[in-house]
Structure 1
Amino acid sequence: MCVIDISPQIETRRITLRAPAMADVSRLTALGGDRDISRMTTRMPWPYGRADAEDFVARCQAQDRRRDNTFAIDLEDEGVIGVLGLFTPPGGHLEIGYWIGKPYWGRGLATEACQGALSWTRQTWRKKLVVAGHFADNPASGQVLIKSGFLYTGVVETKPSVARGEAVATRMMVWLA
């Protein structure tokens, strides 16, 4: 097993995936504060404020990097545009989740971030299986995952959405190294 003591940094053509820092809080708050972002995630509250972003960064800094790695998605010449996380739920398989700020939608940045993270996951972290899910009412996220190499499992689970305050049908997918 690969032991990772510090947060890795992953470079792709246009973006850098790096550890979230307290200096990112204002930007995370501004982008993550859009209801269209938080309602498509399981964990982000609505409204999403500065205290939420500060708590998020603090939790990222305390991660056990053998099990979890969360990245700020940093676009060249723009700064932070979103977040990507690889996390292991209790009793579950490694899972990926992400969000991109609305001004950056439709530019292939989520796909680039996912592909970069999965390449690192396979080559450096030596993980062979990653699961993902997207809310059934968010087919764009499904397309990102398909372009990143995920396949649908045929399973639809009900997952919570903190922002929505309810459980949402979630189409499950799997990626194999």
Structure 2
Amino acid sequence: MAFDTPNGTRGAHQPARNRFERWANRRFAERIRRKGDRSGTKLALVTIGRRSGLERVTPVRWFPANGGGARYIVASANGAARNPAWYYNIAEHPDRVRIEFAGRRIEVTAEQLHGEERAAAWKQITAAAHGFSKYEQVTDREIPVIKLTPRTDGGAARSVG
């Protein structure tokens, strides 16, 4: 499915807009890559920058999807008016995405959910993490839900050395 969610006109503060927040995100992502997180609900999302072509790493919360090790992630940006930068990176290169956590590296294919499939996933996500429903109230854009499915073309999980 297409990555076609437009930006909104109102919303909360866009995260990682200042130097300190970017620094903290980098540190947190590196910790997740090496050790994971205590709750086991965060991963380091690795994308390719749509303009720079450079690898970008972002810590995100994930939710289990139906079977096959698939996961949902949410492009909430804390309810900001704009989609997060990683959303556009995935849109540009949906086949060049991977996730890393606790020393594991998994190549994935990204797909944005729409319609009934998105509604079902959103219901599951907001039941598990009530804060996401608050983001929906702050912004006027539909918050994208992305399904990350492990690739079967040699994209199996590998340990990071």
Q: Calculate the TM-score normalised by the size of structure 2.
A: 0.35
Q: Calculate the TM-score normalised by the size of structure 1.
A: 0.33
Q: Which gives a bigger RCO, structure 1 or 2 (Cα 8 Å, sep 6+)?
A: 2
